[in-house]
Structure 1
Amino acid sequence: MRTTSSTLSTPRRHLVQLIALSTLSLAAAGGARAADPAYPATQQRPVQDQFHGTTVSEDYRWLEDFESPEVKRWVAAQNALTRARLDAIPGREALAARIKELVMTRPTGYGSLGHYGKHWFAMKYEPGRQQPRIVVMDSPDKPETVRVVLDPVQLAADGSLAIDWFKPSPDGKRIAVSLSEKGSERGSLHLYDVASGKPVDVVIPRVQFPTGGGSVSWQADGKGLLYTRYPAPGERAESDAMFFQQVWSHRLGEPLSKDRLVLGEGLPRIAETFLASGPKGLQIAQVLNGDGGEEAFWLQPQGGRWQQLSGFQDGVKGLQAAADGWLYLLSTKGAPKGQVLRLKLGQPLSKAEVLVPEAEGTLTQFKLLDGQLYLSYLLGGPSELRRLDLKTRKSQVLPLPAIASVDALVKGEKNELLASVQSYTQPQAWYRVHKDGHLAVTALAQKSNVDFSDVEVLREFATSKDGTRVPLNILRPKGLKLDGSHPVLLYGYGGYSVSQTPGFNALRKVWLERGGVMVIANLRGGGEFGEAWHLAGNLTRKQNVFDDFIGAAEHLIARGYTKPERLAIQGGSNGGLLMGAALTQRPELFRAVHASVGIYDMLRVELDANGAFNITEFGTVKDEAQFRALLGYSPLHKVKDGTRYPAVLFTTGDHDGRVNPMQSRKMVARLQAAQSASMAERPVLLRTSANAGHGMGSSTSEVIAERTDSYSFLMDQLGMPLQKP
């Protein structure tokens, strides 16, 4: 989620000590079907469920219980097998060295930039450091003034402590920080004095969980704050511990026993609340009804009561409050690509007027500044930045690099606007937008540690099953001949209205410099073409996402980029589900798959805490039509015995609170049993990390280890040289 002090916008929404043995046989009950002898023996214990008159069977439900000693032994055996296979790949050491080189020399970057009081605050990402640090500086043009406020590595030397998010007080004298361990995203709120860097006040527990996230907003005087809070022990049933998020108020210096509930009664069980402050003490709460895109806004004027501005069906996706009492709203009601409404504070939503009507691009964010409205649009993936003079109504397009992304718009001191911009070949840079419309780079621009001058970026369009045109962003070496011989890595996500926008990643060079091509697909389910594009790929329409991805693969083959035996695919989380669907629906189309922290059993995902938040995106088995759709593509249930599947590497983390690691365990067991190809030829492997979760907050060492494993696996399967040519 991107926020400033007065703006809210749409949120959203990766080392184990191994037992020294190559296989581990588990005690098997009579009648268990033997898998490939090279795999650890895995019991089949059939279980049947009834859904709307349909009987559904599965064999590996026992792998859901990670507290079971035999499940832990099974995971250890799978990890040992995976290590033995991956560590033996020729050239792996050279590849690992190259990946480490790029990670450890990655450019210094600044995220979450904002101006509070007399200082600029940011998260500073630095080469070689296990975790980013919170810093302050005098100006984006004076990075030499940077001073560290909080370094989580000073609190946990192994890099296992991560900053989930932070928010400075309005005067910039204090910061509130959510800290969590080992990628768990289970955060407690800590308060620090900016001048000394020392902790102040009490630690507030249960402010952040991977289910509904968390947030904080300071009160105008800087002496109190609002924070999200999950139920304390005994307040609700244990099964509801990560639900029923509420907003509480705390005054510095007072005990937690005096904190009071200010917002939350009547909100959904799966509410996700994000807080911000506006001018004159205004408090803003953006409440999501799970992850499906339904949002509502509540406002509290200073000294007043909370009032609901919009409901879940009203289409308000973002809000900025101005000092003159006007509210500016990003709305998709009747305008799926987004429009800007204007409304006087205190008036009902029905009184809102259209200030900026829906345009060709998809409006993702805006910022009002000194009578100018800056608007960032998505053009199917890349961004366009426009400026509208509210008095003259004159509009202009501001110059951006080709195929670039505007990640954030930030208001600074003296009515200046900063924009974060990056592309596939140029790292993030913070630009100052001048009154004449040109963008001047600040001193916070990242300096790339890798040369992409020999790479070109193209946009092509694939055709999906129903004729929909699907954009593909193709990174390829210059002068590439389309002779069908090239190793291609195709990436996709397609969900939650999350858009795949141009972003810099130095590690892509590892693939490209070995003769490979990388492709990022803009699939339905994302937000690249507005809310209609998102809704075309959720609930009972989810199959459209998989058809889009398959269409992308077929396009790359038909165009002469590659052939099935040289095509690999990669995706994580919702993209992991995409990997499972693609490999089970079209196994002959791909040679290798990396599926990270994915969902594979669609009939049981909603039983997990975060799975309940996904119901508004995926649907529920309780609804018959949605159940039929879920069963129709659920990867676990689409696996067929005796099928020649691609080689697959599944990766997950013990501390993943967003997707239960059992999803990967069950899918691996099912595929290992069904795979007709030998393990030597097309292995199905599981990598489970004890020091990671869903990917957020992973240490630098964990990132290096995971990328080395996934790249070496895919490259080996496609016959690519692991050593740099």
Structure 2
Amino acid sequence: MPRPKRLLLSLLVMSMGSTAWAADRGAPVTQTHPVSQTYHGVRVTDPYRWLENSDDPKVIAWSDAQNTRTRAYLDHLGQRQVVFDRLMAAYRAQSPSYTDFHPAGGHVFAQAVLPPHQQPVVGVMDGGADPKTFRTIIDPDRIDPSGQTTIDWSVPSPDGRLLAVSLSRNGTEDGTVHVFDTKTGKETTNVVPRAQFPTAGGSLAWKSDSSGFWYTRYPGEERPEADRHFYQQVWYHRLGTPVSQDVYVAGRDFPRIAEIALDNYGVSQNGHAVLMSVQDGDGGRFQQYVIDQKTGQVTRISDFDDRVVAAAIGPDDHIYLISRRNAPRGEILETSLDHPAVADAKRLVAQGEGVIMGGAEFGGAPVIATRKALYVREMVGGPSHVAVFSPDGKPAGDIPLPPVVSVSDVTPISHGEMLVSFNSYLTPHQVMRYRPATGKLKPTPLSSTSPVSFADCETVRTTATSRDGTRVPMTVIRRRGTRLDGQNPTLVYGYGGYGISETPRFMGAWLRAWLDAGGVYVDTNLRGGGEFGATWHEDGALTHKQNVFDDFAAVSRQVIAQGYTSSSRLAALGGSNGGLLMGTAMTQTPELYRAIVSLVGIYDMTRIELDPNGAFNVTEFGTVRDPAQFRAMIAYSPYQAVRPGVKYPAVFMATGTHDGRVNPAQSRKMIAKLQADTASGYPIYLSISDKAGHGMGSAVNVRLGQTADYVAFLFDQLGMKL
């Protein structure tokens, strides 16, 4: 009986050595083994360093004890099953949802969510993108009935005959490329390993004659184990040949933390070239390259200091560059394949009020260029729109979109028309057909429908004033007629990092449940994001990271001041970099919050760059090797900020054993310290899933189960009921 043995081991482990008695009385008692280290004259002591070793039987036993306690609590909450059932019923009743459109071979390929499937599928429609003609090519549920295999990304060949797909399992994002025949759905013999992994990801671009493709590849046995998720390179695979004969193209002189993106929007229409972007870690510095399809020669367009964050190819091999050099909101430069260097480019569209969306923080093509117009996605504070320019850069209006939406994609299809995809807080994903000749949008059956209605709700855009006077945007989602009596349970969400913008998105059944139980939801646009361009990001990165935490505290105080809630009814939610935000919220301003949910978070800033994937974060957070950056990091590092006797909020943390982006040890150590030191009497819970990673690729029942867990926790702590 393995479970009793493991529990017995847990008890033995916790009775040995130096022991800290948990102030959270229901929590497992965790032993301490202090390890001290000095950085630039500052001594830092880590009492739970031993919890970093995921393979240690003692750590496994400790994790099991935490999980057992958390599950006993959650499964005892009647609301948890009610919430899960509502989420699953809404998912099963929603319409198919279509995204990631790729025209090829006279057809339109797309990813589709087809309830009740556990994973999205990839299929093909006719050239007019009629969903009635949609035919599934790859269904991960058929490949793996457990629902644990997912599609990382897919790219059709230019002739539409083949589909290259990266597949991974259990949320690992550790992907292998498989190539399928689009007519039969059968797999070919072309299997390419080591093409995808977090954080650098992976990508692929086909040769124009569909005879092969360029792809990203991680090292194998030629490098030690610690380097095999770094040093990403580009190789070329010719169909029908073994991988051992693939040809090296680029990457040997790139940084160890290079994040390479082969751009399928950057394949020239006449097949002359492919664009390639290289990011130096996660900090937002890019190089741009062009690969000659005929010769394989690689030419650099721009270097890191040129601040060109994205590129696209248009008709006649014109190259459009999104530059933020002396233009933090972005400007468009034009060059050509004959003279691609940024030094030879001319300014086509000057910086305006909106942020020209481009770079790793924004998906989709930065510029869609036709012979008659340029279509450019622009953002102002979170919401976005599509600006139209003539080929010579003169403004020609906007595509007429509803207010407060985020445009996720603009895709040219047949007859010169466009599919425009956008999201909002109160309506599900919409896909409209845009006809340039009329300048009008027309609804399509590609748009999603949901059984969840927000007809009785509204969004309110407002701002809070941060410590240094900066105005921080926030969006309040509430039922109409909500009383400002300070009694509404309120949940504030934040991220604030990597230049990633917080944009309108439909949250469906769980948000509806929150509002039905009397809650208010607040979305924040903190510094560190890209909502107002490069300066907004830089003001929340490296030694300026504290601004992010000040912004979030300002929003939290504002919702109290406006009468939405009180600190006894206020909760906060964030994940990953937003988990770091949650860590600072609970340690810097514990009195503001009654409960905090922190998912797959970062907490010990002295150790993050030593984690398996941590080196990618240095360009965003800094390094302990730099004195100034260390001082900034240690000043806010949540793990070091936990103090005995402080009344911390109730905390729910979750992590996944297969997380390749943030080490689960970060959550283990933070939970141990909080459980030992809190004096509030509120519980501190940790949930660890062996069927999840950082959140990407998990099966529907896993994702909905995790959501039901933290929503039920919040309901319990804030006294909410459906």
8 Å CA contact retained: 2:20, 2:29: no
| Alignment correspondent of 1:414 | 415
Give the ranges of 4+ consecutive aligned residues of structure 1 lying more than 4 Å apart after TM superposition: 16-24
The aligned amino acid for 1:529 is F
Shift of 1:272: 0.7
Shift of 1:30: 4.3
1:290 has 2:261 as partner: no
The aligned amino acid for 1:53 is G
Q: Please show how residues 512-523 of structure 1 align to structure 2 within 5 Å.
A: 512-523=515-526
Aligned-residue sequence identity (percent) comes to 45
| Alignment correspondent of 1:384 | 385
| Alignment correspondent of 1:74 | 62
8 Å CA contact retained: 2:94, 2:448: no
1:692 has 2:692 as partner: yes
With over 3 angstroms needed to count, the CA separation of the structure-2 counterparts of 1:177 and 1:18, relative to structure 1, is farther
> Partners of 1:352 and 1:113 in 2: how far apart?
30
Shift of 1:23: 12
1:271 has 2:258 as partner: yes
State the Cα deviation string for residues 184-204 of structure 1 (Å, max 9, x = none). 000011011101100112311
| Alignment correspondent of 1:433 | 434
Among 560, 573, 577, the alignment partner of 1:557 is 560
State the Cα deviation string for residues 263-283 of structure 1 (Å, max 9, x = none). 112100001111132232312
Q: Please show how residues 109-508 of structure 1 align to structure 2 within 5 Å.
A: 109-139=97-127, 141-233=129-221, 235-276=222-263, 277-279=267-269, 280-304=271-295, 305-347=297-339, 348-364=341-357, 365-390=366-391, 393-435=394-436, 436-506=438-508, 507-508=510-511
8 Å CA contact retained: 1:21, 1:80: no
**Runs of 5+ in structure 2 lacking a partner?**
358-365
The aligned amino acid for 1:355 is L
Q: Aligned with 1:32: secondary structure? A: strand
How many pairs were matched up? 703
Instruction: Out of 307-316 and 664-673, give the one that drifted further.
Output: 307-316
8 Å CA contact retained: 1:211, 1:243: no
> Partners of 2:310 and 2:704 in 1: how far apart?
36
**Runs of 5+ in structure 1 lacking a partner?**
1-15
The aligned amino acid for 2:308 is V
State the Cα deviation string for residues 141-197 of structure 1 (Å, max 9, x = none). 521111110001111101000100011101111011110110000001101110110
RMSD: 1.7
> Partners of 2:618 and 2:522 in 1: how far apart?
30
The aligned amino acid for 1:255 is P
Among 621, 626, 630, the alignment partner of 1:627 is 630
Q: Aligned with 1:650: secondary structure? A: strand
The aligned amino acid for 1:269 is R
> Partners of 2:229 and 2:17 in 1: how far apart?
40
Shift of 1:89: 2.0
Shift of 1:383: 1.1
8 Å CA contact retained: 2:83, 2:712: yes
State the Cα deviation string for residues 193-232 of structure 1 (Å, max 9, x = none). 1011001123111111113111111111101111111111
With over 3 angstroms needed to count, the CA separation of the structure-2 counterparts of 1:634 and 1:384, relative to structure 1, is same
Instruction: Out of 662-671 and 274-283, give the one that drifted further.
Output: 274-283
With over 3 angstroms needed to count, the CA separation of the structure-2 counterparts of 1:349 and 1:650, relative to structure 1, is same
With over 3 angstroms needed to count, the CA separation of the structure-2 counterparts of 1:337 and 1:394, relative to structure 1, is closer
| Alignment correspondent of 1:11 | none
The aligned amino acid for 1:624 is P
Shift of 1:398: 2.5
Q: Aligned with 1:296: secondary structure? A: strand
8 Å CA contact retained: 1:23, 1:77: no
Shift of 1:394: 4.5
Q: Please show how residues 542-691 of structure 1 align to structure 2 within 5 Å.
A: 542-678=545-681, 682-691=682-691
> Partners of 1:73 and 1:591 in 2: how far apart?
30
Q: Aligned with 2:316: secondary structure? A: coil
State the Cα deviation string for residues 105-134 of structure 1 (Å, max 9, x = none). 233211111110121101101222100000
Q: Aligned with 2:343: secondary structure? A: helix
The aligned amino acid for 1:376 is R
8 Å CA contact retained: 1:22, 1:80: no
8 Å CA contact retained: 1:23, 1:38: no
State the Cα deviation string for residues 601-624 of structure 1 (Å, max 9, x = none). 011010123210010000000101
> Partners of 1:400 and 1:690 in 2: how far apart?
42
> Partners of 1:705 and 1:301 in 2: how far apart?
48
Shift of 1:392: 8.8
> Partners of 2:15 and 2:32 in 1: how far apart?
8
8 Å CA contact retained: 1:650, 1:686: yes
> Partners of 1:411 and 1:624 in 2: how far apart?
50
| Alignment correspondent of 1:5 | none
State the Cα deviation string for residues 6-39 of structure 1 (Å, max 9, x = none). xxxxxxxxxx999997995334334422113421
| Alignment correspondent of 1:709 | 709
